[in-house]
Amino acid sequence: MFFNENKKMLMDKFNQIKSRLTLICCLLSVVFVFSACKDDKTDTNTRTAEDAISAVSIIYDIFNQIDAIAKDSNYHLSKSKNSDLTSCMTVISSSDNSFPKLVTLDFGATNCLGSDGKNRRGKILFNISGKYYDQTTSISVAFSNYYINDSRIEGKYTLENTGRNILGNLTHSITIKDFYIYTTSGTISFNGSFIREWTAGESTAWPVVNDDEFQITGSGSGTSSGSENFSLKIISSLKYKVGCSWFNSGIMNVSPYGRSVRMIDFGSGNCDNSVKITIDGNISTIYLR
């Protein structure tokens, strides 16, 4: 009888240990499956970030095209080409010496390769209300079959001279509404507000521009070519030097709806086309064109 009782006690303990081991195995299996699923769902998609970069870069490229001509409006506006980006751009002005005036930048009906390596065609049209350096001078922009690198551009684009900041640097506000970029992969839409600051080179007289440097701050929102909504905020000023085809430094965050922030780093000052995109600690490098 004593033996039977001991046997029963041993069996009970064995069953308890067996149950605990079974529970531990089940828990380990759940953890393993969860970890595997988590790894499988690592977010590395950079499409929305790349579309946001394209939107901001094209917006600033258009500003540069206008800026190259509008600066001369402080005195008069020549009907000859004042920009060295393309050899085929024609400038047509409704008036030489009075304001407001309508100015057309005509790149022609076929692609024209600029010195910055970008193809352009079609027309950028802008109305300028007064002399470039006069505070409150505004520039409203429209597009007529305008393409850059074979992406068609549409939208409302307004620039306003907002005077000088506390550092004495000339500033412009840029307002973007209903801006569309029609690419072969889909349509990118964007709305935003930016401040552009002229940080170096203003003291050298026009048309010397190769020492000009600028930076922009601001934010916006849009929809990617993959139909994903996103918001955008410049965290560290995006800086640009005349003669460089890309932003050479600065950081902006792009936040797709319901997904992790994409931190976009344009570098530390070198003029190159590489951009780093960080998502949840994972870094990808893309190359702009």
Position 40 in a domain:
no
* Total of domains in the chain: 1
Render the chain in DSSP notation, one character per residue.
Answer: -HHHHHHHHHHHHHHHHHHHHHHHHHHHHHHHHHHHHHHHT-----HHHHHHHHHHHHHHHHHHHHHHHHGGGGT---SS---SS-SS-EEEES-SSSSSEEEEEE--SS-EE-TTS-EEEEEEEEEE-S-TTSTT-EEEEEEEEEEETTEEEEEEEEEEEEEE-TT--EEEEEEEEEEEEEETTEEEEEEEEEEEEEEE-TTSPTT--TT-EEEEEEEEEEE-TTS-EEEEEEEEEEEEETT-SS--EEEEEEEETTS--EEEEEEES---SEEEEEETTEEEEEE--
Query: So what's the pLDDT on residue 47?
Result: 95
171 versus 207: the higher-pLDDT residue is 171
Distance of CA 49 to the CA centre of its chain: 8
pLDDT band per the 50, 70, 90 thresholds, residue 96? confident
pLDDT band per the 50, 70, 90 thresholds, residue 72? low
* Tokens of residue 169, six digits: 């640097």
Position 30 in a domain:
no
Position 159 in a domain:
yes
Top mean pLDDT of 37-41, 85-89, 132-136, 172-176 is at 172-176
* Tokens of residue 283, six digits: 């870094």
Task: Quote the CA–CA distance of 209 and 16 in Å, as a whole number.
Answer: 83
pLDDT of 196 > 60? The answer is yes
Query: So what's the pLDDT on residue 68?
Result: 74
Overall average pLDDT of the 216-230 stretch: 97
- Cβ–Cβ under 8 Å, residues 170 and 37: no
* Least confident segment among 65-79, 189-203, 257-271: 65-79
Position 253 in a domain:
yes
Position 7 in a domain:
no
* Least confident segment among 132-141, 221-230, 250-259: 132-141
Query: So what's the pLDDT on residue 85?
Result: 57
| Residue 87 structural domain | 47-287
Task: Quote the CA–CA distance of 193 and 218 in Å, as a whole number.
Answer: 6
Kindly state the percentage of the chain with pLDDT values over 90. Answer: 55
pLDDT of 78 > 50? The answer is no
Kindly state the percentage of the chain with pLDDT values over 70. Answer: 79
Query: So what's the pLDDT on residue 10?
Result: 47
pLDDT of 245 > 70? The answer is yes
Query: So what's the pLDDT on residue 38?
Result: 46
Q: Average per-residue pLDDT in the chain?
A: 83
Position 4 in a domain:
no
Position 173 in a domain:
yes
* Tokens of residue 160, six digits: 């306003």
Query: So what's the pLDDT on residue 32?
Result: 44
Position 56 in a domain:
yes
* Tokens of residue 205, six digits: 């007289």
pLDDT of 93 > 90? The answer is no
pLDDT of 84 > 80? The answer is no
Query: So what's the pLDDT on residue 89?
Result: 85
Give 124-165 pLDDT, tens digit per residue: 999 999 988 888 899 999 999 999 999 999 998 899 999 999
pLDDT band per the 50, 70, 90 thresholds, residue 271? confident
